[in-house]
Amino acid sequence: MDTTTERPVIAATRTTKRRGPRLSRADRTPLGLWFWEIDRVLLLLVSILVAVGLVAVAAASPVAAQKLSTSTASLDPLYYFYRQLMWVVVGVPVMLAVSMLPKPQARRFAIYGTIAFLFLLFMVPLVGTTVNGAQRWLGSGVFRLQPSEFLKPFFAVALAWILSLRLHDQSLPVVPLALALTGVIALLLMGQPDLGQTVIFVATWLVLVMVAGLSMRILAGLAGAGVVGLVLAYFFYPVAQQRINIWLFAEGDSFQVDKAHATLTAGGLIGTGPGAGLAKFQLPEAHTDYIFSVIGEEFGMIACIGIAVLYLAIIVRVLVRLLDEEDSFLILAVAGLIAQFGGQAVINMAVNTQIFPSKGMTLPFISYGGSSFIALSIGMGLLLSLTRRNPYAARVSMTRNWNKK
């Protein structure tokens, strides 16, 4: 008698992800997941800022075009607007592509980017291009880039990763390592010279070590070292001494800041109207460093206040997003990126209003510039990636223990 039994045959089946209508909540494709996880409010605010920037560049473009025109050749008054539009067409897809990266890939992307652009920053003193007395760029023409602009967002995320390692192993010398990395970058930037970018990098490092939870004794020591550094910079760094003298003592050439302030206030509350400004034609770098003053003349102080509120809304939105985050790396990385973004905006607006000394720093997503716009797009893409949230995941607010003893 045959006692063998046949084994049941199970047909091989291929499982597929459930997929509903495009961009519905049941859509499990990468695009569908991205759409529901991305902070759409933040994306909307940034889109408004980019649109405002195009209008501002269109207002400032005739100034730069006129200064570069000659008796034999003249530039189209909207030449810089068309070029900025080209950078927007390139930069916005870059921002969206980076925002689609999963968090681990975004972290690796930032670490590799830090290594690559730190190397390029070392190359600037050797083969860099000099523009307006500063050697900050590599290449020429359309292919000219400023390594420090691209290094900024990568640096913030990489530094956050280094400092987050301290929570896993207290014996790791992450703070000295972070300080050494920041110090090397600061020395390279001061040699260009680029005081504004130096301030941004050092401020990013300071914000991150504060968020990382260093003791008050160490923070007090860092504050004292910062004061000593400012004093030394004043006496031994001519660029800093010149800027501080103009700002505090009204000594030296204050033509740029004086013209910026005069242009900013020329339009009153509601401005002279688009294209009707005249003071802007006396303004140096009207389409880059001092574009905020052009906005003040043609669209009024109300528009300037609106732009400041827009920047504030972006910062507050990101910080509120962090309230229910528990991952130390994500908290540090997002804090560093938004500190860079907000700090750069504050410094530019403060320079235009004569609150700060001149720094040579652009207004994020508003000033003209290819390197600046693409680098800011990468930084905002990283910020959008790192703040993505599963809308169905349960979250516990980090404020839950604030009132507990």
Question: Residue 54: beta bridge partners?
Answer: none
The mean per-residue pLDDT over the stretch 156-184 comes to 87
The answer as to whether 151 is a domain residue is yes
- Is the residue at 24 inside a domain? no
Residue type at position 192: Q
pLDDT tens track for 206-217 = 999 888 877 777
Answer yes or no: is 403 within a domain. no
User: Is residue 405 over pLDDT 50?
Assistant: no
How far apart (Å, rounded) are the C-alpha atoms in residues 329 and 164?
5
> Is residue 130 assigned to a domain?
yes
Which residues does 134 contact at the CB level (< 8 Å), separation at least 6? 192, 193, 194, 360
Query: pLDDT by residue (tens digit) across 366-397?
Result: 999 888 999 999 999 999 999 988 666 655 55
4 inside domain: no
> Taking all residues of the chain, what is their mean pLDDT, rounded to a whole number?
84
Quote the pTM value.
Answer: 0.86
Q: Looking at the domain assignment, is residue 25 inside a domain?
A: no
Domain assignment of residue 239, yes or no: yes
Domain assignment present for 221 = yes
Q: What is the CA angle 124-125-131, rounded to 5?
A: 70
The SS3 assignment for 135 reads strand
- Tens-digit pLDDT profile for residues 256-306: 777 888 888 888 888 898 888 888 888 888 888 899 999 999 999 999 999
Prior bond to 193 cis, omega within 30? yes
Kindly tell me if the per-residue pLDDT of 16 is higher than 60.
no
Closest CA to 363 of 66, 57, 42: 57
**Based on the structure, what is the number of domains in the chain?**
1
Range of the domain at 273: 39-67+76-387
**Alpha carbon distance 351, 354 (integer Å):** 5
Instruction: Show the DSSP H helices in 213-327 as ranges.
Output: 216-236, 238-249, 255-266, 291-322
Phi, psi of 94, rounded to the nearest 5 degrees? -60, -45
Distance CA 274, CA 189 (A): 37
Chain segment 84-128, per-residue pLDDT in tens: 999 999 999 999 999 999 999 999 999 999 999 999 999 998 888
CA distance 87 to 82: 9
- pLDDT, tens digit, 9 for 90 and up, residues 250-270: 666 667 777 888 888 888 888
Which structure tokens are listed for 369? 């510039």
